[in-house]
Amino acid sequence: MPKLKIEDLDKIVDQQKKTTSLRDGAGRVKITVHMGTCGISAGARKIMAEVMRCVEESGASDIIVTTSGCAGLCSREPMMTVEVIEQAPVKYVDLDKKKVKEIFDEHVMKGSIVEDYALARGGEQTL
Amino acid sequence: MSATLNKNVGEKSPVGKELSSYRMHLMLCAGTDCVSGGSYQIKDALERELAKHELTDEVAVVMTGCYGFCPHGPIMVVQPDGIFYQHLSEKDIPHLVEEHMLKGRPVEKLMYTPPAEKFAVPKISEIGFFKKQRLLALRNRGLIDPEVIEEYIARDGYKALAKVLTEMKPEEVVQVMVASGLRGRGGGGFPTGIKWKNCREAPGELKYVVCNADEGDPGAYMDRTIIEGDPHSMLEGMAIAAYAIGSSKGYIYIRHEYPLALERLKKAIADAREYGLLGKNIFDRGFDFDVIIHQGAGAFVCGESTALMASMEGRPGEPRAKYIHTVEHGLWDRPTNLNNVETYANVPLIILRGVKWFTSIGTGDVTDNPWGGSKGTKVFSLVGKVQNTGLVEVPMGISLREIIFDIGGGIPNGKKFKAVQTGGPSGGVIPEDLLDLPVDFDQLTKVGSMMGSGGMIVMDEDDCMVDIARYFIDFLVGESCGKCVPCREGLTQISRMLNDICSGQAQKGVLKLLERTCNTVASCSLCALGGSAPNPVLSTLRYFRDEYDAHVKHKKCPAGLCKDLITYYIDAKKCNGCMLCARECPQNAIEGEKKKPHKINTDLCIKCGICRDVCNQDAVFVR
C-alpha cells in the first residue's frame, strides 16, 4: 500500500462503495457475521463456517460475506445481518447451524425473511 | 423516524422563517453514511434548483439526524407527503425538483419501494433496545469489518486527522476540545480539553500520548468492544491528541486478557502504518506520530493513571500522590496525556461535526465551565438481572429507568427491581426511588455512586445488599496495591466487618464503626481506588440500612442469600411427595416417603438450593 495523501481518502471511499455497498458493487446480498468476543464465545466461528459452506454449496458469486464486531445485544449472540439489495438489512439472533442454513436458503437465495429468527430490520441510529 | 421529523418541524430554518409556513419540507439525512454519500452536495443542488424555479420561499431544505436506514443513503423524506427517496445523487436533483416540487409528481424511480409482503419483523427503530440508543463512540458497530482499514475510511475515517493537519493549528484543536465539554470516559470525568491544554502548555520537548485500555472493572467491556469493532477510531483520536499537545509518540496500555482486541489492534496499527496514517510526515504535513502497544498484566489498580505509567516504566503498578500532575511529570517524567479508549473514539467526531453539534447532546452548559455539564453520550455495559444484556450507548441525561426498562427490557422472570450498581466495583448502589435520575457525571456522584467506566449491574429482589457490598469490597481488597495504609488496612477491616455481618457474628454497634472506617478510607487513601472503594458500602448503608439492621440485630437475611442466616424448609401443604428433591440432594438431607410431605434435615443441609431449583411444586422455602 502506498502512503496516503488527503485526496486518497475520497478515492478509498469510492472504491469501498464498489466492494461493500450493494448498490454500486457486484453483490446482491451481504451477510455480516458479528464476531466480537461475545459472538465468538457464543459460537460465531461455527456460524461463519456454515455461512461459507452454504455459499460454496450454492455456487453463488453475488454474495458478499464479511465480519464485524459486536452488534450490542450480547445476550442474543451469535448474530448475523443479512442485507439483500434494495431492502433493509435484517438482524438475526440466537443462531445455530440449522438456522443459518434455513436463513440462507430462504432469505439469501429466495429473498423471504425468516421471521422466526429475525430480531429486526433496518439500521441503527448513528450520530 | 417520526420522532426525528416532528422535532424538526416548527424549528427555525436557517433563514429565520417558521418552518410551518413552508408548503413542503425536504428532510435530508445528515448522518455519516449519507454525508459521505454526498448529502451536502445534494443540499446545495436542491437549493440551487429550488432557487432556479423560485421555490425557495415555499420549500424548505432541512438537514436531519440519521434515519437508521443507512444502506439506502443518501436519504430524503418529503413532508407532508411522507415520500421516501433513497440513493440520491446530485445529478438526480434537477429532475426531482422539477417533477416533484414544481409539478407535484413524485419521481417513482427514486422512491424507496417497500418490499411487497407485510413483515412480522419489526423495524430496528421500533425495538426498545435500539430505539433509545445513540451511537457516537460505537458509530461503526456492526457495520464495518474492523480488520479492513478501508472500511473505516469509507465511513469518514481519518478525515478528522486530515482536517486538523490541514485546517487547524494545534491550539485550535485544544480550543475545540475544551469547548466541546468532552469529559474523560474512563471514570474520572476530567474535561479532556483542559487536560490537553495543560499538557500542551507543560514545558518539555518530548511528550507522550497514552491510551488507557486497561479496562479492569468486572462487567464493563466497552473499551474492548471499541478496539475489537473499530480500532481505528481510537488510533485517529490519539493522533489528533498528539498533534494538539505536540507529541509524536503514543502508547496503548492494554490488558493481557483481551487477546482478540490485541490482535485487531496490531492489525490496525500495521495497516495505518502502511498507509502512512501513522509514522513520519503524515499526509505530508510534517507531523510524525506512531504508537507502541504495552500489555498490562491484569492488575485493577493499573487503570489508575500514575500506577499505569509506573507499570509501563517496569516498576510495580503503584500510584503516587496526585499533586504531581501527569500532564507535567508523567511517563518517564515527561508531560503525558492519558485518555481512555472511549474518550479517544469520540475525538474524530467532535473535530468533524463541531462543538455545536456535540454540545447539543447531553446535560448542562459547558460554554464557560467544562465542568458545567456532561456532553455527548456514554456507553454502558448493561449486565446483571436484566432481559437484554449488552452494550448500550445513550445520550447523557437519559434516566436510569429508560436504560434499565426501555432498553434493557426490565427484570427477567417477573422479579422486582431492587437496585442498580453503576461505575464498577467502587461505584455505588442506587435504589428504586432514584430510577428517574438523569444519568450524568455529576448526578451519579451526588447520589453516592459514580459514572466510572460505565459498568451497570442490575439487581433484583433476590440480591442481598450486604452481600453485594461484601463481594465488591473483597474484590477491592485483592486489588489494592498495598502502598497506602488506609486502603490496605482499612479495606481489610471493612471486609472483615461485612463478612461478620453476613455470617451473623457481628456485634452491636458494628454499623457505626463500619461507616467510620469507610469515611476514613475514602478521605485518606492515596488514589481513586481507595478513595472510591467504600462507595458500595456507604451507598448500601444509605439506601438499604434496614437490610443491614436485619442482619445485625435479627440475624436474618431478608433476600434469603446469606447462607449462615437462612434455613431451607419444605412447606408440608405444598409438597406432593414426588421425591425429586430427595433424589437430587447431594447431602441426602431430605427425608420422606413417596406421596407424603418431605422434610429437610437442617444438620446435614449445606444450603445449596438444589431442592428449591428442582421442585415442581414450589414447595421449598427459605427463612
For the cut 60, the answer to whether the pLDDT of residue B13 exceeds it is no
State whether A70 and B229 contact (CB < 8 Å).
Answer: yes
Say whether A72 and B391 touch across the interface (CB within 8 A).
yes
Contacts of A22 in chain B (CB under 8 A): 71
User: Which residues of B fall within a CB distance of 8 Å from A118?
Assistant: 121
Q: Do B141 and A68 touch (CB under 8 A)?
A: yes
Q: Write down how long chain A is.
A: 127
Residue positions counted in chain B: 623
Residue B127's pLDDT is 76
Q: Measured between beta carbons, which residues in chain B are less than 8 angstroms from residue A119?
A: 121, 127
B276 contacts A125? CB cut-off 8 A: no
In this complex, do B32 and A120 lie within 8 Å of one another by their Cβ atoms?
no
Which of A20, A34, A121 is facing B119, going by the closest CB pair? A121
Identity of the amino acid at B527: C
Cβ of B133 within 8 Å of Cβ of A72? The answer is yes
Same fold, B149-368 and B567-622: no
The interface residues of chain B toward chain A in range 206-225, judged by CB-CB distance below 8 A, are: 221, 224-225
CATH number of B2-110: 3.40.30.10
pLDDT in tens, B143-167: 888 999 999 998 899 999 999 999 9
Chain A residues with CB inside 8 Å of B31's CB?
A: 125-127
Residue among B470, B520, B462 nearest B497 (CA): B470
> Residues B546, B550, B555, CA angle at the centre, nearest 5°?
165
Domain B567-622 CATH (choose: 3.40.640.10, 3.40.50.300, 3.30.70.20, 1.10.10.10): 3.30.70.20
Give B284→chain A minimum CA distance, Å: 7
Whole-model pTM?
A: 0.83
Residues 6+ apart with CB under 8 A from A50: A97, A100, A101
Q: What percent of chain A has pLDDT over 70?
A: 92
Q: What is the mean pLDDT of residues B392-420?
A: 94
* Percentage of chain B lying above the pLDDT 90 cut: 71
How far is Cα B339 from Cα B245, in angstroms, rounded to an integer?
13
Do the chains contact at B145 and A113, CB–CB below 8 Å?
no
User: Which residue of chain A is at minimal alpha-carbon distance from B31?
Assistant: A127
Q: Radius of gyration (Cα) for chain A, nearest Å?
A: 15
Helix (H, G, I), strand (E, B) or coil at B605: coil
Task: Select from B125, B142, B283 the Cβ nearest to the Cβ of A81.
Answer: B142
- Among chain B residues, the shortest Cα distance to A69 is held by B229
Lowest-pLDDT choice from A108-122, B180-194, B400-414? A108-122
Higher pLDDT: B424 or A53? It is A53
Given B36, B134, B283, which is nearest A125 (Cβ)?
Answer: B134
**Dmax of chain A from CA atoms?**
48
Q: Which three cell numbers mark B383?
A: 449486565
Task: State the best of A3, A21, A127 to mutate against chain B, taking most chain B CBs within 10 Å.
Answer: A127
Q: Which residue ranges make up each domain of chain B?
A: 2-110, 149-368, 376-460, 465-553, 567-622
Pair B616, B578: CB distance under 8 Å: yes
Centre a 10 Å sphere on the Cβ of residue B122 and count the other Cβ atoms it contains: 14
Cα separation, B221 vs B330, whole angstroms: 26
Of all residues in chain B, what percent carry a pLDDT higher than 70? 93
B613 at A interface, C-beta within 8 A: no
Closest CA to B369 of B197, B194, B173, B187: B194
Residue B612, C-alpha cell as written in the block = 428449591
Which CATH code for domain B465-553?
1.20.1440.230
pLDDT at res. B397: 95
The answer to whether residue A40 neighbours chain B at the CB level (below 8 Å) is yes
Please name every residue paired with B570 in a beta bridge, in sequence order, or none if there are none: B620
d(CA B609, CA B25): 63
- State yes or no: pLDDT of B427 exceeds 50: yes
Q: Are B240 and B291 in contact (CB under 8 A)?
A: no
**Partner B contacted by A107 (CB < 8 A):** no
For B496, the 3-state DSSP assignment is helix
How far apart are alpha carbons B336 and B210 in whole angstroms?
A: 7
- Residue to test with chain A: of B143, B277, B353, B386, most A Cβ within 10 A: B143
The answer to whether B7 faces chain A, any CB pair under 8 Å, is no
Range A48-63 average pLDDT: 92
Task: Write the DSSP string, B268-298.
Answer: HHHHHHHTTSSEEEETTTTEEEEEEEEE---
Query: Is domain B376-460 annotated with CATH 3.10.20.600?
Result: yes
pLDDT in tens, B107-135: 888 877 654 445 566 777 777 888 889 99
Q: Which residues of B touch A13 (CB under 8 A)?
A: 36, 153-154
Return all residues near B148 (Cβ < 8 A) that are at least 6 apart: none
- State residue B66's pLDDT score: 59
Residue of B nearest to A5 (CA): B283
Closest CA to A67 of A100, A41, A32: A32
The Cα A36–Cα A76 span in angstroms is 13
Residues of B in contact with A120 (CB under 8 A): 121-124, 126-127, 130
Cβ(B401)–Cβ(B476) below 8 Å: no
pLDDT of B475 reads: 94
Q: What is the pLDDT of residue A104?
A: 96
Q: Is B103 exposed, middle or buried (0-12, 13-18, 19+ CB in 10 A)?
A: exposed
Confirm if B566 and B558 have CB atoms less than 8 A apart: no
Q: Count Cβ–Cβ pairs < 8 Å, chain A vs chain B.
A: 182
Give the CATH architecture of domain B149-368.
Answer: 3-Layer(aba) Sandwich (3.40)
With contact defined as beta carbons under 8 Å apart, do B355 and B176 qualify?
Answer: yes
**Between chains, do B129 and A73 touch, taking CB under 8 Å as contact?**
yes
Contact A67 B71 (CB under 8 A): no
> A4 and B145 in contact by Cβ < 8 A?
no
Report the alpha-carbon distance of residue A112 to residue B115 in Å, rounded: 10
Task: Kindly report the average pLDDT of chain B as a whole number.
Answer: 89
Inter-residue contact B523 to B574 (CB < 8 Å): no
Take residue B369 and report the three cell numbers written for it: 465551565
- In whole angstroms, give the CA distance from residue B163 to residue A14: 19
Domains of chain A: 27-121 (3.40.30.10)
Q: Is B163 on the interface with A (CB under 8 A)?
A: no
- Say which of B71, B117, B260 has its CB closest to residue A123: B71
